[in-house]
Structure 1
Amino acid sequence: KDDISKLVTKEEAKQFATKDDISKLVTKEEAKQFATKDDISKLENIINAIGARWGIMSESSFRNGIYEILKDIGWEIKNEIIYDREGYVYNEPSEIEIDIVIKDGNTMIIEIMSSLKRSDLPIIKKKTELYEKKNGVKVNQIIVITPFIHDKYQDQVIAMANSMGIKIITSLDNIK
């Protein structure tokens, strides 16, 4: 086999070699230096955590900037934490954070997100309904501000949002 491996290309050798022959091409000692699936999974988790943290910080900065601008022109801005004892939003008791903008008696719910998934829309709708129920007010508009719609079919997500009364403002060429 050593003589043959010198005479043929690796691609040609694959036709003759068995899986056992190929596995011997790397020694166990050499293989220990390769990343395992667990190593890659841990790295992915770290990258996702950093990305999520940056997203949270960006959302917070953006929210603070918008609030500062709007309060100076007479809009009331509130960030409320509502305890959802019945588990209406997440199917278990939890704290729900809601950003509210009020102007001339009109109430808007604003969701600022680093990315939007299709599955976020029903949750946003439920958060709005919970706010209406707890405060006895009618929300006039629901707006989601996001730079990224995380879905293969972004237009379908936008259509779904529109059918639920949710307006999406994104970095796409036009505002939906």
Structure 2
Amino acid sequence: MEQAEIIALIQRELPRLIAQDPSLRDFVLRTVSELYVPRREADIKFDRILDELRRDREEQARRWEEQARRWQEQDRKWEEQARRWEEQDRRWQEQARRWEQQDQRWQEQARRWEEQDRRWQEQARRWEEQARRWEQQDQRWEEQARRWEEQDRRWHEQLAEIRRLDKRFESTIGALGARWGIASETSFRNALVGILTESFGVEVLNLTLYDQEGEVFGRPDQVELDLIIKNGLTIACEIKSSIDKAGMYIFDRKVNFYARHHQRQIDRKIVISPMVDPRARPVAEALGIEIYSYADAVEGL
């Protein structure tokens, strides 16, 4: 018989024979046991495989969920980054626009600087020209200063000569003035004595006293005083070519010195002078001194 026929015969008869003869079943089981795993062991292996597959599936699901979470987080980061990139791109565009405007300004400023530099160069040229002119002018001024210095030296020499002559003239004029003042005072006093004594019967006295204590001048000295006496009325008179504030105080002290030491009342105090210092008039008014100057007249004698 052919192998195919034998196989067909076994497939047809084997189930019936196994059912009729248990020993045959055992033989078949022993024969195929080496090729197939027992059912329980197969179930255990199958369950273990299923568990491993389940665990693998769960682990894979967990990994997929973790990966999905990471992908979501990454998507969020990408969206955030995209938003940042978009914002940055907007800023870059704005900055680029500003840079463009700034570049235009710089170009305009560079043009202005270039124009200003041209002007400065032109101004520098003018300054150099002006400096050259100033240098020439300075040389002229130095020459002029040298001339002025020489002229100033001559003027100082002439001024010194003028001052020397002026001192001589001043000394001469002063001496003449002093002599003229003394002569005028003496002449006026003599005339006053002659007129009042001879024509009006008035007694005129020129007294020379000695101030031992220095009450009048602050040190011992002679004191001269003119007195006019009529019918018991005593008038102290000071005749001066010129008088100032100090002269008024001295005249008042001379009068007080005479009245105190001679126990005599002075009814009037009169100053006769053609030149009275304006500052002496308030002093005379405060001291009760009458002033007669220029065309003033002495009345009531």
Q: How does 1:55-74 map to 2 (within 5 A)?
A: 55-72=181-198, 73-74=200-201
CA distance in 2, matches of 1:143, 1:157: 13
- Map of 2:150 onto structure 1: 24
Displacement of 1:14 in angstroms is 7.9
Counterpart AA for 1:97: E
Which residue of structure 1 lines up, in the alignment, with residue 209 of structure 2? Answer: 82
**After superposition, where does 1:1-176 map in structure 2 within 5 Å?**
17-18=144-145, 21-25=147-151, 31=157, 35=161, 37-72=163-198, 73-149=200-276, 151=277, 154=278, 156-171=279-294
Partner Cα distance (1:14, 1:161) in 2:
59
Q: Which has the larger radius of gyration?
A: 2
When you count helix as a share of all residues, which structure comes out higher?
Answer: 2
* Greater alpha carbon shift after TM alignment, 41-50 vs 51-60: 41-50
Distance 2:212 2:296 in 1: 40
Encode CA deviations 1:134-160: one digit per residue, 9 max, x unaligned: 2110111110001111x3xx2x53232
Give the distance between the partners of 1:118 and 1:111, measured in 2 at CA.
14
Higher relative contact order (CA 8 A, sep 6+): 1
* Change in CA separation of 1:167 and 1:25 when aligned onto 2, cut-off 3 Å: same
Distance 1:14 1:143, change over 3 A: farther
Q: How many pairs are equivalent?
A: 157
Question: How large is the Cα RMSD of the aligned pairs?
Answer: 2.8
Give the gaps of 5 or more residues in structure 1.
1-12
CA positional deviation for 1:36: 5.6
Cα deviation 1:91-113 (Å, max 9, x = unaligned): 11111111111111111111111
2:207 alignment partner AA: E
Identical residues among aligned pairs (%): 31
Unaligned runs of 5+ in 2: 1-139
Task: Look up the SS of the partner of 2:161 in the other structure.
Answer: coil
Q: What is the rounded CA distance, in whole Å, between the counterparts of 1:110 and 1:15 in structure 2?
A: 66
Structure with higher strand content: 1
Provide the C-alpha distance between the structure 1 equivalents of 2:173 and 2:164, rounded to a whole number of angstroms. Answer: 14
- CA shift in 2, pair 1:113/1:88, >3 Å: same
User: What is the alpha-carbon distance in structure 2 between the residues aligned to residue 103 and residue 173 of structure 1?
Assistant: 21
TM-score w.r.t. length of structure 1: 0.77
Deviations 1:55-83 (A, max 9, x none): 11011111111111111222111101000
3-state DSSP class of the match of 1:137?
coil
Which position in structure 2 is the counterpart of 1:9? none
Question: How far apart in 1 are the matches of 2:259 and 2:141?
Answer: 66
For residues 124 and 14 of structure 1, the distance between their equivalents in structure 2, rounded to whole angstroms, comes to 61
Amino acid at match of 1:110: C
